[in-house]
């Protein structure tokens, strides 16, 4: 591939996305029908819009590599490790993210959420991300992995930084958190405990391939896995509660609908998501010849509005079933934190609708989004009415 001064970035794709979800869906479906694969010669890049083609790319890492995609400045990510490393390293931590393992922690999560909601029962106000979403993730990560994180504000800043790097709107800056985890690693070498770092250090004594630097970077990745996606999913849910009181009341009357609501929020509201790959060799995709080293951008958000898999795809429907969305990927590189998003997200929403009888936007503090990308909510202040019925 000839080096081009126009090296692609994720940011270059955002301007074509309308702020209107209706227009965005119409554009996705237009591209699926008329140009399901679009070549951008100025960037040596293919965009993929149709569900079957997106799925094919994501499920075939032997043809479409994660390692040569645009550099994001991350010291390590399970989503960027090549196949042998990915399988080897993910094997150490996968059991921690098994749905059954996380489901067993639901009672502890419930107690954590109730504790965080208690001040809002008195004040009737809460900044939902800063006072609930990021603190619950900080506590959950500490509980699951024994990682010490100095406060929710730091955790929020790290998460925003890492996710900003992931989507290409922030420059690499992870020195502080790497230094913090290095200090904790040194502590575990002196005094091992019943936690993830100690387990990984024990494995390192058996297998020198697991370098200390890699342990630190794995812990950094795990500390933020599912973290920004969970905060975003909950932010989208809370924003919907504020804009649509009936949605809030529907879940309040029937909390069993919450898992379906989460899946539909992941499908519908993450309508700006895409994943990047690089062709390892010449191949054919959707009838088009793809050359080695060309970039591949799979619009999983477009795939989520493919009528072949989602009838009446433009409808937000929390009872949609099946709902095989690909918001966080598919195949071996599916987001490691997705089970945590589902279980912890469900617990948070269950406790919010049980604890309060309604939720409205705080008129004194309007919703704020990331300047470079309006879909990324950074703060959401709500006025909450405590439930008069005893919280179960």
For 41-87, how does the pLDDT look when each residue is reduced to its tens digit (9 = 90+)? 999 999 999 999 999 999 999 999 987 655 455 556 677 778 888 88
Smallest Cα–Cα separation from 326: which of 346, 301, 356, 361? Answer: 301
Q: What is the pTM of this model?
A: 0.91
Contact between 65 and 336 under an 8 Å Cβ cutoff? The reply is: no
How high does pLDDT run on average in the chain?
87
Sheet of 275-279, strand order: 37-40, 45-48, 295-298, 275-279, 64-65
Q: How many helices (H) and strands (E) does the chain have?
A: 16, 12
Contact between 303 and 49 under an 8 Å Cβ cutoff? The reply is: yes
Smallest Cα–Cα separation from 1: which of 284, 278, 275? Answer: 278
For 299-355, how does the pLDDT look when each residue is reduced to its tens digit (9 = 90+)? 999 999 999 999 999 999 999 999 999 998 999 888 888 899 999 999 999 999 999
Contact between 228 and 154 under an 8 Å Cβ cutoff? The reply is: no
Contact between 151 and 252 under an 8 Å Cβ cutoff? The reply is: no
With the C-alpha atoms ordered 156, 346, 275, 67, is the resulting torsion angle positive or negative? positive
**CA angle centred on 164, ends 198 and 200, rounded to 5°:** 10
Provide the pairing of β-strand 288-290 with 283-285.
antiparallel
Angle between helix 245-253 and helix 227-243 axes, rounded to 10 deg: 110
Maximum Cα interatomic distance, the chain, rounded to a whole number of Å: 67
Contact between 76 and 93 under an 8 Å Cβ cutoff? The reply is: no
Q: How far apart are the first and last CA of the chain?
A: 61
Per-residue pLDDT of the chain (392 residues), as tens digits, is 344 446 676 666 766 788 889 999 999 999 999 999 999 999 999 999 999 999 999 999 999 998 765 545 555 667 777 888 888 888 877 777 888 989 999 999 999 999 999 999 999 999 999 999 989 988 888 888 887 777 667 777 777 776 666 666 666 566 677 788 889 999 999 999 888 888 889 888 888 888 888 888 888 777 766 677 888 999 999 999 999 999 999 999 999 999 999 999 999 999 988 889 999 999 999 999 999 999 999 999 999 999 999 999 999 999 999 999 999 899 988 888 889 999 999 999 999 999 999 999 999 999 998 777 778 898 999 999 999 875 55
Omega cis (within 30) before 322:
yes
Cβ neighbours of residue 81 closer than 8 Å, sequence gap 6 or more: 66, 67, 89, 90
- In the DSSP assignment, the letter for residue 390 is P
């Amino acid at each position: 591939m000839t080096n081009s001064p126009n090296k692609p970035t994720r940011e270059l794709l955002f301007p074509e996305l309308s702020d209107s979800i209706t227009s965005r869906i119409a554009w996705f479906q237009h591209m699926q029908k008329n140009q399901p694969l679009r070549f951008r010669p100025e960037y040596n890049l293919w965009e993929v819009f149709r569900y079957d083609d997106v799925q094919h790319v994501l499920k075939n890492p032997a043809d479409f590599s994660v390692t040569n995609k645009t550099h994001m400045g991350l010291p390590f990510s399970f989503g960027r490790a090549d196949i042998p490393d990915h399988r080897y390293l993910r094997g150490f931590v996968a059991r921690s993210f098994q749905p059954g393992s996380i489901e067993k922690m639901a009672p502890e999560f419930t107690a954590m959420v109730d504790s965080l909601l208690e001040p809002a029962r008195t004040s009737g106000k809460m900044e939902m991300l800063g006072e609930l979403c990021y603190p619950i993730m900080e506590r959950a990560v500490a509980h699951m992995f024994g990682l010490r994180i100095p406060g929710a504000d730091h955790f929020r800043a790290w998460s925003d930084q890492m996710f900003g790097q992931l989507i290409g709107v922030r420059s690499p800056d992870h020195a502080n958190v790497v230094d913090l985890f290095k200090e904790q690693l040194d502590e575990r070498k002196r005094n091992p405990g019943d936690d993830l770092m100690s387990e990984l250090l024990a494995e390192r004594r058996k297998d020198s391939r697991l370098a200390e630097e890699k342990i630190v970077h794995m812990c950094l990745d795990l500390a933020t896995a599912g973290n920004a996606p969970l905060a975003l999913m909950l932010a989208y849910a809370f924003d919907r509660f504020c804009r649509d009181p009936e949605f809030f009341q529907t879940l309040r009357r029937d909390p069993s609908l919450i898992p379906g609501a989460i899946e539909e929020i992941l499908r519908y509201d993450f309508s700006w998501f895409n994943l990047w790959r690089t062709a390892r060799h010449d191949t054919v995709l959707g009838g088009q010849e793809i050359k080695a080293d060309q970039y591949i951008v799979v619009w999983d958000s477009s795939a989520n509005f493919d009528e072949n898999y989602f009838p009446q795809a433009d409808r937000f429907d929390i009872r949609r079933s099946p709902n095989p969305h690909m918001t966080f990927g598919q195949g071996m590189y599916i987001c490691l934190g997705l089970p945590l998003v589902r279980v912890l997200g469900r617990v948070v929403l269950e406790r919010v609708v049980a604890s309060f009888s309604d939720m409205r936007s705080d008129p004194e503090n309007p919703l704020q989004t990331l300047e470079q990308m309006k879909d990324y909510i950074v703060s959401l202040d709500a006025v909450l009415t405590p439930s008069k019925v005893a919280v179960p």
